[in-house]
Amino acid sequence: MIAESLISPRPHPDIPASDRIFAPFIGSWDLRVTWYATGEIVRQEDGEWHFAWVLEGRAVQDVWIVPRRERRATAPDLYEYGTSVRFYDHALGAWRSTWIGPMHGMIRSFVARHIGGTVVLDTDPGQGDPMRWEFSDVTHDTFVWRNWLNRDGRWMLQQDFMATRARPD
């Protein structure tokens, strides 16, 4: 019964409509994930990403899986099966987000804001080199997610996800 107690059909009315910055991502997405090192592509893999309103609609949770579940039993180089939980912090006027990546023992905390047409998540201070995650080029059926790392004052692209809304079977 955890799914029934966790997943909500809609956002909670306490979250202002103008601040529901993760609403466009609710649903399931097919991914093409690309990794970069010094600007060069080093790996590409297909994945999946699922978003839902949770906790009475007061938060958004996602699960991203690379490679896709049907390949995980036979894939020689598994990457991650991770989750983020995001909630709107009224006092901050922004979203707090925590990502958990159990395969690599990673936890990252971010603050998310809508800047222009992009949802920008910046890591909280004290977590090593600053990271920025961006959701951009958002349409009903597509978006791009990018993972940037700041080393010595220079932002470097680590990953991007090209997302396409999954169609029901």
The residue ranges of every structural domain in the chain are: 2-9+17-165
Q: Contact at 8 Å (CB) between 97 and 83?
A: no
| Mean pLDDT on 112-138 | 93
Say whether pTM exceeds 0.85. yes
CATH topology of domain 2-9+17-165: Lipocalin (2.40.128)
DSSP 106-123: EEEEEEEEEETTEEEEEE
Across the range 83-108, mean pLDDT stands at 96
Query: What's the pLDDT at 169?
Result: 58
Specify the pLDDT at position 74.
86
Confidence at residue 68, expressed as pLDDT on a 0 to 100 scale: 92
